Structure 1
């Protein structure tokens, strides 16, 4: 009985030390991770609109219908960039899609992609991007054959952004 009590106390102390070390590591790395994420976001915003001087953040009206919209940026002439996060086959996709006042997709860029290499990652490739540019964001958009589990959520996210635009931004 005494040995069990000693082992329990020993394990509790080790767990507390390990928990404290993890909390400390998180406190140290969290600002660095956030800074890198913001830098990546700014880089991708500039990819979409290289000539834009700034990107005005717009408040997102969160609800279940628009759950995949993470951020919105106003650019110019009624064009908005939506930062979307959708679940795919594995880890999903974070991407930016720009929609103009006529509802057309102006540009699209993937920020991060965690689905199956070579199949699911095709949502970040130029052939897929070329099928989106200039199309009606709320209309029929083609998925990638063989990668529908990764590309369908991206298309659904674009439709979600278009619906949000029509409801709140026009």
Structure 2
């Protein structure tokens, strides 16, 4: 009985120390991770619009928008740029889509990350999918990738949601 108490106490102490260490290192690395993600996003925005400066992209207030997929919205010239994360087969897709405020056409699309099946689901990262979207109405019929509709379908649904948000912002 005494041995069980000692082992239980030992396990509790080790758990507290390990939990504390994890919390401490999480607190230490969280700002660095956030800054790296912000830097990556700024670089992607500049990749979309190379003639722009980082200061040209203005944050749009999301407080009146109810969405589980829209992370951020930027305003740049005649465009709204949406940072979105949608579900997929496995981990889903995070992407930026730029929509013209005047005619709701997709100006630019860049997939930032995709955690779905390599080869099929990751095709949303490739140029053919990007080119199939750009220039088309964001609120219209958009092609999905055959064999990867679980990955590309939510991207298209996210773009449709972004188009409806653009209409509500104007």
TM score, norm. by length of structure 2 = 0.95
Q: Which runs of 4+ in 1 moved over 4 A?
A: none
What residue in structure 2 maps to residue 55 of structure 1?
Answer: 57
**Secondary structure of the structure 2 residue equivalent to 1:88:** coil
Contact 1:57 1:71 in 2 (8 A): yes
Contact 1:40 1:111 in 2 (8 A): no
**Which moves more between the two structures, 97-106 or 109-118?**
109-118
Please list, as runs of the form range in 1=range in 2, the aligned pairs for 1:17-166 lying within 5 A after superposition.
Answer: 17-53=17-53, 54-60=56-62, 61-63=64-66, 66-77=67-78, 79-101=79-101, 102-166=103-167
Deviation of 1:62 (Å):
3.5
Contact 1:75 1:81 in 2 (8 A): yes
Distance 1:73 1:161 in 2: 12
**Secondary structure of the structure 2 residue equivalent to 1:73:** strand
**Secondary structure of the structure 2 residue equivalent to 1:85:** strand
Deviation of 1:69 (Å):
0.6
Question: Aligned-residue CA RMSD in angstroms?
Answer: 0.9
Unpaired segments ≥5 residues, structure 1? none
Distance 1:108 1:26 in 2: 33
Deviation of 1:26 (Å):
0.5
TM score, norm. by length of structure 1 = 0.95
Deviation of 1:28 (Å):
1.6
Higher relative contact order, chain-length normalized (CA < 8 Å, sep 6+): 1
